[in-house]
Amino acid sequence: MNRPRRSVQTREALIEAGIEHLSVHGYHGTGIKQILDEVNVPKGSFYNFFASKEAFVAELIGHYSEDLLGQLNEFMTGPGKDLTPVEQLRAIYLYSLERYASNGFKKSCLVGSMASEISSESEMCRIELEASMKKWLKFFSEVFAKGQKQGLFREDMSANEIAALYWAAWEGALIKMKMSANTQPVKRIMELMISTLLKK
Amino acid sequence: MNRPRRSVQTREALIEAGIEHLSVHGYHGTGIKQILDEVNVPKGSFYNFFASKEAFVAELIGHYSEDLLGQLNEFMTGPGKDLTPVEQLRAIYLYSLERYASNGFKKSCLVGSMASEISSESEMCRIELEASMKKWLKFFSEVFAKGQKQGLFREDMSANEIAALYWAAWEGALIKMKMSANTQPVKRIMELMISTLLKK
């Protein structure tokens, strides 16, 4: 019974290492060989696990996205449970920024950076990226809908529309974070964004 | 007198081809050799023009940014002269989207995509990207300040703050454009963004 378990573990280790490398070096800057070396897998074995680099990356995107969504949901039912929707949004963006700052801005949102780099080259990855983004939008849309019900957010836009705008500002603000190697501009942008969405 | 002129022309041709390649394939996906082949320059000559790939790309970023800023200023003193600031913003984003759509979303904002891909790896490029972004922010800030004076935009935020938020939403919306291979989501996001910035 050792073999299949080891195989599953190796697959997971490849995915974890792949996410790390892609987050820092991007699609074209990541070589499969580096990842295999790190996980101690012989070169020929890669194709036992994944059909191609493209299929590997598409799977990584899905994995990264599900993991993040899992963390968001854990936060909402755990430490964030008693916060207002505005406080929840703030806690989520501050937590993300802390993580990005802690590794010297080397990593950012993998979905945003992959979308920018390869969605026009790989239809397989583009579809996975779009699916990830839609799941996150659904998550944020629910937060905004709850906030609207509580009279916190403006009601001249739907919760879906607000979520789409909020998500765009977040991804754009992360670009500014990378340019300025600083989280302050993102915080400023996200607070401005939130304040334009509040009910006056 | 032929030599220096040819040299300047070659340099410009390398820059133009570099911008094209980088816009489509990104930093790591662009090989210097492809660019040299395209411009018909022998491999060894590259270093007569640029100290390194990194220095080349940093110069491309500056060139791209100045070119875009020149186009924006031409628009503001030419066809956009008699439009309101809101109409000017709309015309600018619609024009950009048309261009991106016309090449099948293969290209997007070079500054945004380079920032996402290499600002943590190359300090030289990061500095150039940040400088470009600051110039654009100054441009947009002036449009918003004019709009505020005309009573069009909200005044509880400074024109600089509005410009920072608007720019972030634009860069984030472009990521969504690449994911969805469609300009509709960007238009929706930009119209939502503008409407939250209008004076009520």
Domain contains A48? no
Give B10: exposed, middle or buried? Use CB within 10 Å, 0-12, 13-18, 19+: middle
- Cβ contact A8:B8 at 8 Å: no
Rounded mean pLDDT of A125-130?
Answer: 97
Query: Nearest-CA neighbor of A140 among A59, A64, A197, A183?
Result: A197
CA within 13 Å, CB half, A33: 1
Distance CA A155, CA A143 (A): 14
Q: How confident is the model at residue A93 (pLDDT cuts 50, 70, 90)?
A: very high
Domain contains B127? yes
Residue A106 pLDDT > 90 = no
Strand partners, B153: B198
Domain contains A18? no
Domain contains A1? no
Q: What percent of chain A has pLDDT over 90?
A: 88
The predicted complex's ipTM stands at 0.93
Domain contains B44? no
Chain A residues touching residue B171 (CB < 8 angstroms): 171-172, 175-176
Residue B1 pLDDT > 80 = no
Rounded mean pLDDT of B46-56?
Answer: 95
CATH number at residue A149: 1.10.357.10
Rounded mean pLDDT of B82-106?
Answer: 95
Chain B residues touching residue A170 (CB < 8 angstroms): 172
Q: How confident is the model at residue B4 (pLDDT cuts 50, 70, 90)?
A: low
Q: How confident is the model at residue B103 (pLDDT cuts 50, 70, 90)?
A: confident
- Tokens coding B20: 């094209």
Three-class SS state of A26 = coil
The predicted pLDDT at position B6 comes to 76
- Cβ contact A164:B185 at 8 Å: yes
Number of domains into which chain A is organized: 1
Distance CA B155, CA B102 (A): 37
Other Cβ atoms closer than 10 A to A100: 20
- Cβ contact B122:A181 at 8 Å: no
Q: Do B28 and A27 touch (CB under 8 A)?
A: yes
Interface of A with B in 113-142 (CB under 8 A): 113, 115-117, 119-121, 126, 129-130, 133
Closest approach of chain A CAs to the CA of B74, in angstroms? 26
Q: Each residue of B14-38: pLDDT tens digit?
A: 999 999 999 989 999 999 999 999 9
Q: Do B126 and A188 touch (CB under 8 A)?
A: no
Q: Each residue of B148-187: pLDDT tens digit?
A: 999 999 999 999 999 999 999 999 999 999 999 999 999 9
Distance CA A193, CA B49 (A): 44
Distance CA A171, CA A141 (A): 16
Distance CA A199, CA A155 (A): 7
Dmax (CA) for chain A in angstroms is 62
- Cβ contact A164:A185 at 8 Å: no
Domain contains B20? no
The predicted pLDDT at position A3 comes to 54
Query: Nearest-CA neighbor of A51 among A126, A146, A124, A151?
Result: A124
Which residue has 């400088």 as its token pair? B131
Query: Nearest-CA neighbor of A190 among B181, B116, B164?
Result: B164
Domain span at B97 = 54-197
The predicted pLDDT at position A130 comes to 96
Closest approach of chain B CAs to the CA of A30, in angstroms? 9
Domain contains A146? yes
Whole-structure pTM value: 0.94
The predicted pLDDT at position B107 comes to 85
Domain contains B24? no
